[in-house]
Amino acid sequence: MVKLPELSLPDDPKLAQNITHFARALRKAGLPIGPGRVIDAIRAVEVAGFTKKRDFYWVLHACFVSKPEERAVFGQMFRLYWRDPQYMEKMMAMMLPAVRGVQEERTAQAAEKRAAQALLDGQLPDLPAPPDADDAVEIDIDASQTISAQERLKTLDFEQMSTAEMAAAKRMLASLRLPVSPVLSRRTMARPGDLADWRRTMRAAIRRGGEINEFATRRRRPRYPNLVVICDISGSMASYSRVILHFLHAVANREGQGWAQIHAFTFGTRLTNITRHLRKRDVDAALAAAGAEAQDWEGGTRIGECLTQFNRDWSRRVMGQGAVVLLITDGLDRDPGAGLGAAMERLALTARQLIWLNPLLRWDGFAPKAQGIVEMLPHCSSFRAGHNIEALEGLAAALSSPDDVGQKARLMAMME
Amino acid sequence: MSFADIDEVQARLGAQDYVCGRALATVVFLAQKLGRPLFLEGEAGTGKTEIAKAIAASLGRRLIRLQCYEGLDSNSAVYEWNFAEQMIAIRAAEAAGGADRDGLKSELFTEDYLIARPLLEAMRPQPGGAPVLLIDELDRTDAPFEAFLLEALSDFQVTIPELGTIRAPEPPIVILTSNRTREVHDALKRRCLYHWVDYPDFAREIEILGARAPEAAANLSREIVAFVQRLRGEDLFKKPGVAETIDWAKCLLALDVINLSPEVIADTLGAILKYQDDIQKLQGSEAKRILDEAKADLATV
């Protein structure tokens, strides 16, 4: 046990206070920051000195950020909190539904909104009090949600959700069902059907002293196909994959869903099987485990390579029983042409159904121009957006109707 | 008869033309010694089924095989009543005019009308000691059957309502194989000794080919094995197993081939590669390149 020196705060008590407030705001934005870390941060600032903003930034960064995906939130928060009070007002304007239409041309950057939301909830020193429109901004997250808020939430992009919205969305997703149509297994059950059940017939006959007056029958038992999810977790895709995995996690651990088994894989630059994590722990832990080795966090993906690897190492092991495959990626391959089309084709051939969720579809002007998308599109059986709850509800429809194609037909027409 | 030590396992299996590595011999010995099932997983054609046959032959025990498939249930795995015989018996009893219920029941559900399926067969005393029970391609069954098997393998007894419980006098040597078309449940694996049967190295594959296709000239077998070994290093969808090597050697012998040449390889590729994509990859100069590399390997061996 190291004996720490007496904590002497910097001369400027305002600074310590501000760091504490800042930490509180970060906590609201979803970073796991306990009081111990705050003390560490204050001590670190004391040791490092507070002369350059840049140094200050990195000192706090070192104390508060523990995962690569927290960097974006931290950066936005820092800018909001320490640099530009004017910026705050701009952000607030963005968050008011009334003004939002005017501000539409400036699309909020990722995590900006989460940062703003977290900050506005806290009481900030040295800042004008936010206007009284707070209750319009705030999303009420108890059971008495208004329909309109629910409707709004359904069409909100996952990437732009605040923490509260995300929590509400996760709750909504947890109650969403993902029905799947069963297939007939070779196993039979004792029900009226078209197969003779000799064993039961004989037993009944013995009870009647050898009289056989009807044949007991069996019929084939329905069985549910497995679901294989292949998730892109690189840079831009991370937040979508996270939500969809949350959704699938809820599905996988609910009774009576009908899926026999859910296998999940993540890929960035490497393919990882997270099935077991998904079964045991929560999604964030599973993704963290996968993310630990996806070092190349922003570096784009090698879809072709990862799909080839999947086909070679896993396809025979998880698709043996005829599985439905859910591929979640934007299709932007770092080096397309590396067998991407062939890998996708093989994947489609081994799957009962191959459904591709692509968040890029949220843009109305989306056109299949990137080479990766052009190569992959013809092979999937259904192509859908996956960027908000409404899209995931559509996914449920896709799963329950085997001939659903989503937007594939429209985009294929564009390609010709 | 049983194995006394690991060396004896290797020697006895060798006598059955099964070339067995030290690791595999060790788990075989342990499975027999500890009375635990042996779970063999590996690519198709690496000799998983073959070893069960070799063990049974070398110990002079009976081999009982249960081939798994989707929808396999206890009726086809454990026992079934001979319904046709029972019907005839009922009819005969009716014709004789003396069909009393209890008598009928005790008469119809007896050993005479019982058809023993592999699992029940393995629980019964066999000549030469406990049999070798081979449960082949377990991954093709479904989870319910696996759960049932778990129970059957833990206490080696089955219960037939009309006849009572049948218990194995001594537990059979159980060998389960899987091609990994799905992951077998952990609970089952936990009760078994596990071994991943890998492709053999050059020296062992030469040995295997010598045992299985002894009529092939040494020179040709060396070329065949070197080529197949090289082929497994290529990026193929399905790498050729040992069974394919043996098949291919037999094909080449039937064609009176003395040396491998790109033309011969192109003509007989169907014996080692079973996927169109893979065959396509080896078209043209590719086969020649691999053959040249294989010959270069031979020069250094």
Tell me the whole-structure pTM to 2 decimals: 0.70
- B142 with A185: Cβ contact below 8 A: yes
Provide mean pLDDT across the span A224-236. 81
- A185 with B70: Cβ contact below 8 A: yes
The rounded distance, in Å, linking the Cα atoms of B231 and B287 is 9
> Largest Cα–Cα distance in chain A?
101
Give me the pLDDT at residue A293, please.
52
Q: Taking CA atoms, what residue in A is nearest to B161?
A: A203
Provide mean pLDDT across the span B166-172. 89
Does the structure show a pLDDT above 90 at B64? yes
A182: tokens are 């069963």
The number of residues in chain A equals 416
A312: distance to nearest CA of chain B, Å? 6
Does the structure show a pLDDT above 50 at A97? no
B90: distance to nearest CA of chain A, Å? 6
Residues B180-191: tens digit of each pLDDT: 888 888 888 888
Give me the pLDDT at residue A90, please.
53
- B83 with A199: Cβ contact below 8 A: yes
Task: Indicate the residue of B73, B99, B183 with minimum beta-carbon distance to A209.
Answer: B99
| Contacting residues of B for A186, CB less than 8 Å apart | 69-71
Give me the pLDDT at residue A394, please.
77
Residues A187-223: tens digit of each pLDDT: 888 888 888 888 888 888 878 877 788 889 999 888 8
pLDDT band at A253 (very low <50, low <70, confident <90, very high): low
The rounded distance, in Å, linking the Cα atoms of A239 and A244 is 9
Q: Secondary structure of chain A: what % helix, strand, coil (to 5)? A: 50, 10, 35
pLDDT band at A148 (very low <50, low <70, confident <90, very high): low
| Contacting residues of B for A321, CB less than 8 Å apart | 70, 142, 182
Q: Which residue has the higher pLDDT, B238 or A88?
A: B238
| Contacting residues of A for B108, CB less than 8 Å apart | 202, 206
% pLDDT > 70, chain A: 66
Provide mean pLDDT across the span A153-158. 71
Give me the pLDDT at residue B185, please.
84
Using only the alpha carbons of chain A, give its radius of gyration: 27
Does the structure show a pLDDT above 60 at A6? no
Provide mean pLDDT across the span A78-103. 51
Q: Which of A175-184, B68-77, B184-193 is the least confident region? A: A175-184
B12: tokens are 């006895």
The rounded distance, in Å, linking the Cα atoms of A109 and A112 is 5
% pLDDT > 90, chain A: 1
Give me the pLDDT at residue B17, please.
92
Cα A255 to the center of its chain, rounded Å: 21
Residue by residue, DSSP assigns B157-208 as EEEETTTEEEE-SS--EEEEEE--SSPPPHHHHHTSEEEEEPPP-HHHHHHH
In chain A, residues 344-363 whose CB comes closer than 8 Å to chain B? none
Q: Is A210 on the interface with B (CB under 8 A)?
A: yes
Give me the pLDDT at residue A133, please.
38
Give me the pLDDT at residue B189, please.
87
B183: distance to nearest CA of chain A, Å? 6
Provide mean pLDDT across the span B228-239. 88
Give me the pLDDT at residue A208, please.
80
The rounded distance, in Å, linking the Cα atoms of A395 and A409 is 16
Provide the mean pLDDT of chain A: 72
Does the structure show a pLDDT above 80 at B41? yes
Task: Indicate the residue of A187, A199, A321 with minimum beta-carbon distance to B182.
Answer: A321
Bridge partners for B173 per DSSP: B132
pLDDT band at A127 (very low <50, low <70, confident <90, very high): very low
Provide mean pLDDT across the span A113-124. 52
Residues 6+ apart with CB under 8 A from A253: A279
| Contacting residues of B for A210, CB less than 8 Å apart | 90, 93-94, 99, 104
Provide mean pLDDT across the span B241-257. 93
Look at residues A270, A258, A259 and name the one whose alpha carbon lies nearest to residue A305: A270
Give me the pLDDT at residue B245, please.
94
Note whether A355 and A384 are within 8 A (CB): yes
The rounded distance, in Å, linking the Cα atoms of B299 and B301 is 6
In chain A, residues 307-326 whose CB comes closer than 8 Å to chain B? 311-312, 316-318, 320-321
| Contacting residues of B for A311, CB less than 8 Å apart | 237
Q: Taking CA atoms, what residue in B is nearest to A197?
A: B83
| Contacting residues of A for B99, CB less than 8 Å apart | 209-210
Provide mean pLDDT across the span B75-95. 86
Which of A310-314, A352-356, B239-243 has maximum average pLDDT? B239-243
Give me the pLDDT at residue A59, please.
82
- B139 with A185: Cβ contact below 8 A: no
Bridge partners for A272 per DSSP: A266
Which of A283-292, A379-388, B242-251 has maximum average pLDDT? B242-251
Give me the pLDDT at residue B273, please.
92
Q: Is B95 on the interface with A (CB under 8 A)?
A: no
Give me the pLDDT at residue A124, please.
39
In chain B, residues 153-182 whose CB comes closer than 8 Å to chain A? 179-182
The rounded distance, in Å, linking the Cα atoms of B59 and B227 is 35
pLDDT band at B126 (very low <50, low <70, confident <90, very high): confident
Q: Which residue has the higher pLDDT, B95 or A128?
A: B95
Provide mean pLDDT across the span B175-179. 93
Provide mean pLDDT across the span B240-255. 94
Would you tell me the crossing angle of helices A70-78 and A13-28 to the nearest 10 degrees? 140
pLDDT band at A288 (very low <50, low <70, confident <90, very high): low
Q: Which of A172-186, A339-353, B286-300 is the least confident region? A: A172-186
Residues 6+ apart with CB under 8 A from B9: B3, B20, B25, B26, B28, B29
The rounded distance, in Å, linking the Cα atoms of A248 and B207 is 51
A401: tokens are 């109707």
Does the structure show a pLDDT above 70 at A123? no
The rounded distance, in Å, linking the Cα atoms of B210 and B197 is 20
Q: Which residue has the higher pLDDT, B228 or A284?
A: B228
The rounded distance, in Å, linking the Cα atoms of B149 and B177 is 13
> Largest Cα–Cα distance in chain B?
86
Q: Taking CA atoms, what residue in B is nearest to A323?
A: B182
User: Alpha carbon of A208 to those of A310, A369, B93, B139: distances in Å?
Assistant: 58, 74, 14, 42
Q: Taking CA atoms, what residue in A is nearest to B88?
A: A210
| Contacting residues of B for A310, CB less than 8 Å apart | none
Provide mean pLDDT across the span B82-94. 85
Interface test with A, best of B76, B106, B181, B281 (most A CBs within 10 A): B181
Give me the pLDDT at residue B30, please.
92
